[in-house]
Structure 1
Amino acid sequence: MAINKDNIIVEGASGKFGKKLVFRQRGVLTIMSKAPKKTTKAPTTAQIEQRELFGEASIYAKSVIANPELKAIYQAKATGNQSAYNVAFKDYLTAPTCEFELSGYTGAIGDIIKLKIKDVIEVTNAVVSMYDAEGVLLEEGNAIQQDNLLWWNYTTTTENASLPGTRIVVKLTSFPGNVYEYVAIIE
């Protein structure tokens, strides 16, 4: 991939040049790359699933740029030559990260389970479910986002006398509405 810098001959060019080159516009840049080749192989199941996922991401990104309020949110996160469309596309495809901080959990009522959650835009909801070693639901509820926006806290409501094997399940809802599940098991 080559990026045009002050070449007046190709500046603003777009489309295929012969059978070897393709020119694209990204913001104010003209990008030149090798022309893509069509494959004769049938797509694998994984490729078909990935294409469907990309199609869903594209539909989501198009809906974002059609909504001025959402477009402004995504445009604020764009860097360099990214567009709101690019950031929305990435947000749809990228799962948030979730780190468990369990040092404050002793099994008592009122203990705090901390979750460090990062996402492209934001996570809109975090539901915590706790199960004992046999898989019986002990409690479930919403974690509360803290003022620094990175940490979420869940306050326990049930006593847990047997910590080993306790499974903590967190379901996160991302800004596009995708739901992701994270699990920590206390040893």
Structure 2
Amino acid sequence: MAIVKDNLLLQSVEGTLGNQFTIYKRNGQIIIAKKRGPSKNKPTKKQLEARYKMRVAAAYAKVIIQDPDIKAYYKSLAGPGQNAYNMAVKDAYKSPEIQNIQFEDETVVVTAKEEFRVAEVEVRVHDAAGVMLERGKAVLGRNGVDWYYKAAGLPAGGKVVVVAVDLPGNGTVREIRVE
């Protein structure tokens, strides 16, 4: 790949030359790259999973940017050469990350991050036998990263299951034992 600077001949040229080079513009720059063709190798399982995930993300983006408020949100996050659709695809492709779960008396504090935003965090409390005692939505703290859930009780030997969900609906589940 080569980036062309100040070449009058290539200012208005785009496309493929001689089945060898492709010339295109990105972010106002002219780029010359070797022409790529389809791979002759069979796709791996990971590649097929990535393709499927990308199809789902693209379908989400196509539908969600019809909402003017959400489109404006994604547009505000777009950088040079990007648009709301690109940001929506990127958001749908990744799931939120649960970084930490702590207990402060009867309060469960969950640190959940995502490049865009975590839409909600649900907390489920189970006893030692695995029976769910309670479940509910956590409340976002002032710092925008920590989520707080006030439990009725945290049984010794039980577990707390946390589910963080982002705007596209991708969820991440993490559980921790109560000591």
Please name the residue that 1:146 is paired with. 141
Q: Alpha carbons of 1:124 and 1:53: their partners in 2 closer, same or farther (altered >3 Å)?
A: same
- Which deviates the most, 147-156 or 26-35? 26-35
Q: Secondary structure at the match of 1:55?
A: helix
Please name the residue that 2:22 is paired with. 22
Pairwise CA distance, 1:63: 2.8
Q: 1:130 aligns with which of 125, 130, 134?
A: 125
Q: 2:162 aligns with which of 167, 170, 178?
A: 170
- Calculate the aligned-residue CA RMSD, in Å: 2.3
Q: Alpha carbons of 1:130 and 1:6: their partners in 2 closer, same or farther (altered >3 Å)?
A: farther
Q: Secondary structure at the match of 2:104?
A: coil
**TM-score, structure 2 length as denominator?**
0.84
Mapping for residues 68-147 of structure 1, pairs under 5 Å: 68-105=68-105, 111-147=106-142
Please name the residue that 2:8 is paired with. 8
Please name the residue that 1:108 is paired with. none
Question: Contact 2:96/2:170 (CA < 8 Å) preserved in 1?
Answer: no
Give distance in 2, aligned partners of 1:64 and 1:183: 31
Deviations 1:15-41 (A, max 9, x none): 222223223333423333222232223
Question: Contact 1:118/1:150 (CA < 8 Å) preserved in 2?
Answer: yes
Pairwise CA distance, 1:136: 2.1
Give distance in 2, aligned partners of 1:177 and 1:185: 26
Give distance in 2, aligned partners of 1:7 and 1:83: 28
Q: Secondary structure at the match of 2:165?
A: strand
Deviations 1:44-95 (A, max 9, x none): 3332222111111122223344443222111111223332222111101111
How many residue pairs end up in the alignment?
Answer: 179
User: What one-letter code is carried by the residue in structure 1 that aligns with 2:125?
Assistant: M
Give distance in 1, aligned partners of 2:176 and 2:107: 15
**TM-score, structure 1 length as denominator?**
0.81
Is residue 2:58 matched to residue 1:58? yes
Pairwise CA distance, 1:133: 3.3
Question: Contact 1:78/1:84 (CA < 8 Å) preserved in 2?
Answer: yes
Pairwise CA distance, 1:130: 1.9
- Which deviates the most, 140-149 or 35-44? 35-44
Give distance in 1, aligned partners of 2:2 and 2:66: 31
Question: Contact 2:121/2:162 (CA < 8 Å) preserved in 1?
Answer: yes
Give distance in 2, aligned partners of 1:24 and 1:185: 54
Give distance in 2, aligned partners of 1:12 and 1:145: 51
Q: Secondary structure at the match of 1:126?
A: strand
Pairwise CA distance, 1:172: 1.9
